Amino acid sequence: MYYNGKIWIGDANGEKVYIEPKMANRHGLIAGATGTGKTITLKVLAESFSDAGVPVFLADIKGDLAGMCRPGVNTEDMQKRIRRFGLDQCGFTYKEYPTTFWDLYGEMGIPVRTTVSEMGPVLLSKLMDLNDTQADILTIVFKIADDQDLLLLDTKDLKAMLQYVGEHADELSMQYGRIAKVSVTAILRSIVALEAQGADRFFCEPALNITDWFATGLDGRGMINVLDSRELVKDTKLYSTFLLWMLSELFDILPEVGDLDKPRMVFFFDEAHLLFKDISKALRDKIEQVVKLIRSKGVGVYFITQSPRDVPDEVLAQLGNKIQHCLHAYTPTEEKAVKAAAGSFRVNPAFDTFTALQELGVGEALVSVLDEKGIPCMTQRCKILPPQSQMGPIPDEDKKNEVLRSNLGLRYQTTYDRDSAYEFLQRLNQQLELEAFDAAQKAAAEKEAAEAAKAAEKEAEAAAKAAEREAIAAQKAAEREAAAAAKAREREEAAAARAAAAAEAKAQKEYEAALKKAQQQKEREEREKKKVAASIASTAGGTVGREVGNAIGKTVGGAFGKKLGGNIGAALGRGILGTLFKK
């Protein structure tokens, strides 16, 4: 309840426990086991901030926060609580609050949409449960889209971009690093699975202008923006990613304002453990950074969960206002968690925090808030105030009627599809296909011309070869004829030479024969002459020899000697002269 300019949470032994509005942007925690009263505490805080003129966002997991648009019901139990707190003397009234209903699926509230670019690669990687390598590839895809001025608005834009990157991976890898096609394919499968879960209804335009949540009602009270999360929370990844996206979006668009008298807006994130489940270190660091710095932009963030251990210590350390409902310690692990929770509170000597945490009743809590100087107050055991609006849900039909009465409903009801990466790449593909077709036609024509030229060249070559063969054949024939003529001439010349030689030989032979005959004739004549001379000489020699022999023989032997000497002398004379004339 908003009272005396403060957020009145509850009473601790008759003492009012407040949150100072100017310390509300130091964030907070509402924790406790199931059924201990966390939802009522959330409603009381949300109503108080609204009365203070601070817009509120909260996620309605069970549908029981929708009653804020209706005034509370005056029951006997409520009368008892009003009297116990003395609320009737503090201006407590049942009233409805300015409420706007939102729904990612557009069924029980104004559609909440964003674009793929606004979601960014880090949160999309979480949403699709990508590994580190795939997340890096997705970041590269976003970088390529930015460098080429391509808008990534919806899932078909992202799929088209991934297909483009996969097809051009080799050339893009030289500029952006290795792009594994298998990773691109895995991301595409994840997007298809995401679309099957209805996420394609979330990624489209008109995208949510988150400043629409900073509205106030006609009476100046802050608008309570209720996100119907009954269906959304069934997809825990989409639910947690959406809440993280909201934080990041606020952090990016809001200017620094420093410390204000009251927050510009307060966010309540129910089932906060889903935000930190299975997230990467990079995303955890991002959440820590946003929670740490977003308070300087006038935004308070309150996490609602069962146990403080659901929130990382780095984030838990940033939560200045803590409301801790009952915790159970049925196991050693749970007992350890209770001790850790008790140790995070400032000690109150009036009670043992560890014991008190396990003894708190429904609607009771240990509360530790920051005072005006930002110092944690001593922990108080409080009974939480009742809400002023209706507790519990309203019929879905009433909720739809509330949506129809909202001015924002008309702005976000109809989707549209701007020219973006998908359309550009479609045109590019069509252009490339046309160019490829033209190139194919040109190549076919060039091929046909080349084949025709080749055929003509072959024909010309064949004709040239035929002509060459004919020329060679003619040349060979001519050579053969010339050779035959030469051979004929040679034969004729040889025959003539033989004939001449024969004639010459014959003439020579005849000459030699004639010469021989003449020689023979001469020799015969010489022989005849010699014969005659020899005969004459022989006769003369015989006569001379006989005369000589007779003379000698007569001298020696007388008549007998004479006769013998004559015969011998004749024979010697004929022999000597015959020999001389033979030569």
Domain regions of the chain by residue span: 2-109+210-413, 114-204
pLDDT of residue 425: 92
Q: List average pLDDT for each run of 10 residues in the chain, which is 583 residues long.
A: 93 92 94 92 96 95 92 91 89 94 92 92 89 93 94 94 93 91 94 86 90 91 95 86 86 88 93 82 82 90 92 90 92 89 90 93 94 91 95 91 88 90 92 89 90 89 87 86 84 81 79 80 78 67 69 69 69 68 56
- pLDDT for residue 240: 84
- Please report how the helices 132-147 and 155-167 are oriented relative to each other, as an axis angle in degrees rounded to 10: 90
pLDDT in the model for residue 36: 92
Judge whether 344 and 308 are in contact, CB under 8 Å. yes
CA distance 140 to 190: 17
The Cα 40–Cα 28 span in angstroms is 16
Q: Is 340 exposed, middle or buried (0-12, 13-18, 19+ CB in 10 A)?
A: middle
How far, in Å, CA of 236 to CA of 98, rounded?
28
In sequence order, what are the residues at sequence separation of 6 or more whose Cβ sits closer than 8 angstroms to the Cβ of residue 459?
Answer: none
Assigned CATH for 2-109+210-413? 3.40.50.300
Which pLDDT score is estimated for 288? 86
pLDDT for 549 equals 67
- Token pair, residue 192, equals 């298809």
Q: What is the pLDDT of residue 252?
A: 87
Residue 449: count of CB within 10 angstroms of its CB: 10
